[in-house]
């Protein structure tokens, strides 16, 4: 659990983060969104004390984050940034081993961890371990950056625009990988981005920041249905609302009894994908296949239309 309590950061006259309070449940993904200059990165950097707050407190599992020297705190918290920040003079394996080495792990344990992480991120340890960062593609560098952040098995991972430098196709893949990794390690993630699509895709809860304040902190569905301010509404984009609503829910929660013609859609797909398939194939309904492949019902245009409707 991460408790951010009345945290404020001022630089001279300007207040960058203004009295922000958030409670972040363990093992969830919280995405902080906002325009540039909204204070979202500063908020993130106060969690691991790369920036010291002017006032307020942050507690990790009940313990004040100022109980330890900053560098020791940071060794317990993963940190991944845009453009990955890999050390250009160290190999991929050395980069990933940085924090375990700082913590004084035994060599065998470090090697095993590096190998495990590289395999988990689909990079062959024997071939990628000894390479230097500049010999990797952008997507590979980004994966190594996240692997390095996770090397010391932190309970909390902070990410600042981690996918900002990737092209759209690689970015989508990296986001899916991140969700899988988060489930695997049960990590609590706070991620900063300005990309609403990314926020809705990844978040259990979204915090929208504007001019240093959190203007809304809610689940994606709540935020879509009840945007707290006109700013949140414009951030979401009026034209995107119904599609985002469908995108954050799986087909399984829209299954209706009955049968339909044609190839079935997986119940794990998003409702938005089902809608796209319906519109593209010109049908009214699609059969839905459960996790085992057996057809468990149908999803209909009419049903989806109701789910995509905003509050009356």
CB of 127 to other proteins, least distance (A): 12
Q: Which of 52, 63, 64, 72 binds other proteins (CB under 8 A)?
A: 72
How far CA 129 is from CA of 109, 157, 204, 238, in Å, comes to 15, 23, 33, 46
CB of 92 to other proteins, least distance (A): 11
CB of 95 to other proteins, least distance (A): 9
Dmax of the chain from CA atoms?
Answer: 66
Q: Which of 20, 46, 86, 247 binds other proteins (CB under 8 A)?
A: 86
Instruction: Rule CB under 8 A: say whether 67 interacts with other proteins.
Output: no
Which residues face 10 on adjacent strands? 15
Which has the closest alpha carbon to 145: 161, 131, 124, 162?
162
Contact between 188 and 24 under an 8 Å Cβ cutoff? The reply is: yes
Question: What part of residues 119-158 is at the interface with other proteins (CB under 8 A)?
Answer: 130-132, 134-135, 145, 148-149, 158
CB of 50 to other proteins, least distance (A): 6
In this complex, which beta carbon is closest to other proteins, that of residue 181 or of residue 224? 181
In this complex, which beta carbon is closest to other proteins, that of residue 11 or of residue 21? 11
Beta pairing class for 55-60 and 63-64 = antiparallel
In this complex, which beta carbon is closest to other proteins, that of residue 38 or of residue 95? 95
Interior/surface letters 131-146, b for 16+ CB within 10 angstroms, e for the rest: eebeebeebbbbbbbb
Instruction: Rule CB under 8 A: say whether 50 interacts with other proteins.
Output: yes
CB of 46 to other proteins, least distance (A): 12
Instruction: Rule CB under 8 A: say whether 37 interacts with other proteins.
Output: no
Stretch that binds other proteins, among 6-14, 71-79, 230-238, 298-306 (CB under 8 A): 71-79
Instruction: Rule CB under 8 A: say whether 46 interacts with other proteins.
Output: no
Which has the closest alpha carbon to 154: 289, 48, 68, 246?
48
Stretch that binds other proteins, among 65-73, 192-200, 259-267, 295-303 (CB under 8 A): 65-73
Q: Which of 46, 58, 81, 288 binds other proteins (CB under 8 A)?
A: 81
Which has the closest alpha carbon to 280: 254, 266, 301?
301
Q: Which of 20, 31, 65, 79 binds other proteins (CB under 8 A)?
A: 79
In this complex, which beta carbon is closest to other proteins, that of residue 43 or of residue 278? 43
Instruction: Rule CB under 8 A: say whether 99 interacts with other proteins.
Output: yes
CB of 115 to other proteins, least distance (A): 19
CB of 97 to other proteins, least distance (A): 11
For other proteins, the binding residues (CB under 8 A) are: 48, 50, 71-79, 81-89, 91, 98-99, 102, 130-132, 134-135, 145, 148-149, 158
């Amino acid at each position: 659990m991460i408790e951010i309590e009345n945290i404020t950061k001022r630089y001279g006259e300007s207040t960058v983060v203004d009295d922000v309070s958030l409670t972040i449940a363990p093992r969830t993904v919280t995405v902080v969104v906002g325009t540039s200059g909204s204070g979202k990165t500063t908020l993130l950097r106060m969690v691991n004390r790369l920036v010291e707050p002017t006032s307020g407190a942050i507690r990790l599992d009940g313990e004040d984050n100022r109980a330890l020297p900053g560098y020791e705190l940071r060794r317990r918290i993963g940190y991944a940034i845009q453009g990955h920040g890999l050390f250009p003079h160290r190999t991929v394996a050395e980069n990933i081993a940085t924090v375990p080495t700082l913590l004084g792990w035994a060599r065998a344990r470090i090697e095993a961890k590096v190998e495990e992480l590289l395999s988990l991120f689909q990079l062959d340890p024997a071939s990628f371990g000894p390479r230097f960062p500049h010999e990797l593609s952008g997507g590979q560098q980004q994966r190594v950056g996240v692997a390095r952040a996770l090397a010391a098995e932190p309970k909390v991972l902070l990410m600042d625009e981690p996918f900002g430098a990737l092209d759209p196709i690689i970015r989508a893949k990296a986001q899916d990988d991140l969700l899988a990794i988060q489930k695997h390690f049960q990590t609590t993630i706070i991620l900063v981005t300005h990309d609403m699509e990314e926020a809705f895709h990844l978040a259990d809860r979204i915090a929208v920041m504007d001019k240093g304040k959190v203007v809304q902190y809610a689940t994606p569905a709540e935020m879509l249905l009840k945007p707290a301010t006109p700013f949140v509404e414009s951030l979401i984009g009026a034209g995107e609302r119904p599609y985002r609503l469908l995108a954050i829910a799986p087909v399984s929660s829209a299954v209706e009894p009955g049968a339909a013609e044609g190839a079935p859609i997986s119940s794990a797909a998003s409702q938005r994908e089902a809608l796209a398939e319906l519109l593209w194939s010109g049908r009214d309904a699609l059969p839905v296949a459960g996790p085992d492949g057996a057809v468990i019902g149908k999803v209909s245009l009419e049903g989806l239309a109701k789910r995509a409707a905003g509050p009356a």
